[in-house]
Every structure is written in structure tokens, then in C-alpha cells.
Amino acid sequence: MCGAEKVRHMLMGEQVLKKWKKSKKMTVAFGGILVMSVVIGGCGGREDAKKSIKIGISVYDQYDTFVSEMMKDFNDYATKKEEETGVAINIDTYNASASQSTQNSQVENMITEGCDVICVNLVDRTDPTAIIDLAEKNNIPVIFFNRELVEEDLERWTRLYYVGAQAFESGIMQGELAAEAFLTDQSLDKNGDGIFQYVVLEGEAGHQDAIVRTEYSVSTMIDSGVEVEKLGYAIANWNRAQAQTKMAQLMSQFGDSIELVIANNDDMALGAIDALKASDLTKDEWPAVIGIDGTDVGLEAVKNKEMIGTVYNDKEGQADAMLNLAYELSTGGDLSDLNLIDGKYIRLPYARVTCDDVDSYMEGDTE
């Protein structure tokens, strides 16, 4: 990436993200079984306009912290949309439990149940074919979100969309946070050799977002003038408990030589912190830990200085954008005001978060 392009993306990510007020309601599906949220709207709108719409959602894993928080926001914004428009918004939410075949069946069921639009958080980003074929056959638009499918698949039909962010931007910002910390805090260079020794907790084996986040994080540190040495890595599948186990294994292998933990998301960063808390190390002896997502618990860890920073993935903005897109598609509305890129994409910027500005991103804070 050229310097100008890199700076452009960095500036995009540094935009101040508006923190929306959020209520505490959420529609949750357990064990792949449907839980239906039916919200009754008022009697407004034109005589020939729809009085209600039905949105189907399938998430890859209900226990993913970022996804569950985004779904809570989505339901909150749907309630507000009802109040604004007088149109009842019915939301059916399914948990795919990390099974692509289960998710395919869920989409088929949503079509049978008469959903106007389907939102899919793909289990396998490389295998959306069954979902796309079902949707096209029945002329039901699909909004993919958070786990981006291959561009060629999104181009297969005109009524396919994606809402999310650019994975490489989060990697760049994570690398910037790490580099700035190392260059300004000599205590992080525990052995005094001028090299940042690190380990990586990766999301999924072969997952594009995990690969891109790691590559850009490391390359950005190097581009910032930090010499680095990779000690080891482990696949923790975006999961806090797995990350704790993997981090404990890395610590047994490398001991206090670890100076930095790069985690592809906050849940895995928190798992690393759990392992550090269970170790014999004092907090002053901990390596630097950096995550990505800016989940509520991740932000709390930044505030408590257990993580030196995280990269905020705008779940509120993504939930709001997906709700507005789903509403317009369901009601035959105008998409021109939704800032679609290439008629297909809605992308929200990331932002760097440290203890200096974490309060502005935490729940309940407003501009």
C-alpha cells in the first residue's frame, strides 16, 4: 500500500464515531431455534403502503460478543423506526451455531415464512452459494453483514448487499497502537533488545479477516520503525475461553519473553488477559495486549488499563445502516440516500481507542 493511500485509510478510521443511546432489549435465538420479536406499529403512512414488514436474520454464533451487541442495537433501532414510520417491523432471529448447513436451512425457512428481506452473518464466507440461489429464486433481497463474502459472489445477483467495515483498516490501526506504545513506553521492551517480541491470537484458520488483520497489524508496526519478532501464534476461533487456553500454552512455551499480544478481536484479547491474571506475573510484568472491535467488555478492559487499546468497530453504525437498508428494501423505498458504494456496499470506519478517549465510546456516553 502506498503512503498516500495508507494515510487516507488511517484518516477514515480516525473519524469520531457518534455513540448512540441504547436500550437493553434484544432478540436472541438459542440453539438454532427461532425466537420471534413482533413489535406492533401504529397506523400511519399511505393507504397503499405496507403496514408491516418482516426481517429474517441468521447470525453465525449468538455467543460472539460483537455480533450479539450489534443485534441488540439492531432491535433497538427497529423500535425507533416503527415510532418514526408507523410501520410494524417484525424480526425473526436465528442462531446458526457455526454450521453453514444449518444457516442454509434457516434461510430457506425464512423464505417460507414470508420474510421481506434476509440478513445473513455468514458462517463460511466462501460458501454463500445455497443462500444466494434460494434468495434469487424467490426474489428476496439479502444483506450480508460483518463477515464479508467474496466480491464475485456478491456480484452474482443485483439484490445482494453487504454492511460492514474493511478488515485491513483495523489491522493498520492495531499496528499503529502497538507501535506508538512501544516507541513511547520503554517498559514494554522487557529484555531491552529494542525488538518487540509478539504472539498472535488468530480468529479462524484461513479466515480472510483474521489473515488481513494480522498481516496489516504487523506490517504497520514495521513501517512505523519498530523491529518485531514473532514468537508464536494460536488459533482461538474468536472465542474468549479458547484464547485463555491458547495463551496459557504460549506462556508456558515462551514465558516472560512475550512483550505483545496481538488479538484479532476483543474476546480473544480478554481471554489472554484471563490467562495473565491466572499466571504468577504481576500486572507490571504483563505484555501489552491489543484487541479489535470495541465491545463493551473490551472497552472496560481498556479503561482499566488491562488492554493498552482496541480498534472500535462501529456496531451501532452498522446496525443502523443495516436496519435502514432492510427497511427500504422491504417497503420498496429509495436507496439513493443510503450511501451505497457501487450500489452494493455500506462501509463504516474504524477508530483507535486508548484509555485517553475510551469514555467517549462506552455505553451511555453521548456527544
pTM: 0.85
Helix axes 266-278, 296-303, angle to 10 degrees: 50
CATH code 3.40.50.2300 region(s) in the chain: 18-165+314-348, 167-312
pLDDT for the residue numbered 50: 82
Phi-psi region of 134 (alpha: psi -120 to 50; beta: other; left: phi over 0): alpha
- Contacts of residue 132, Cβ cutoff 8 Å, sequence gap at least 6: 142, 153, 156, 157, 160
- Contacts of residue 163, Cβ cutoff 8 Å, sequence gap at least 6: 143, 144, 145, 146, 318, 321, 322, 325, 345, 346, 348
- Answer yes or no: CATH 3.90.1640.10 is held by domain 167-312: no
The residues of the chain scoring below 50 in pLDDT are 1-47, 364-367
pLDDT for the residue numbered 38: 38
pLDDT for the residue numbered 367: 39
pLDDT for the residue numbered 237: 95
pLDDT for the residue numbered 16: 34
What's 165's DSSP letter?
A: -
**How many helices and strands in the chain, by DSSP H and E?**
11, 13
User: Taking a C-beta distance cutoff of 8 angstroms, is the pair 266, 66 a contact?
Assistant: yes
Kindly state the helix (H) or strand (E) to which residue 271 belongs, with its residue range. helix 266-278
pLDDT for the residue numbered 207: 86
Domain 18-165+314-348: CATH superfamily, name plus number: Response regulator (3.40.50.2300)
User: What is d(CA 172, CA 216) in angstroms, rounded to the nearest whole number?
Assistant: 5
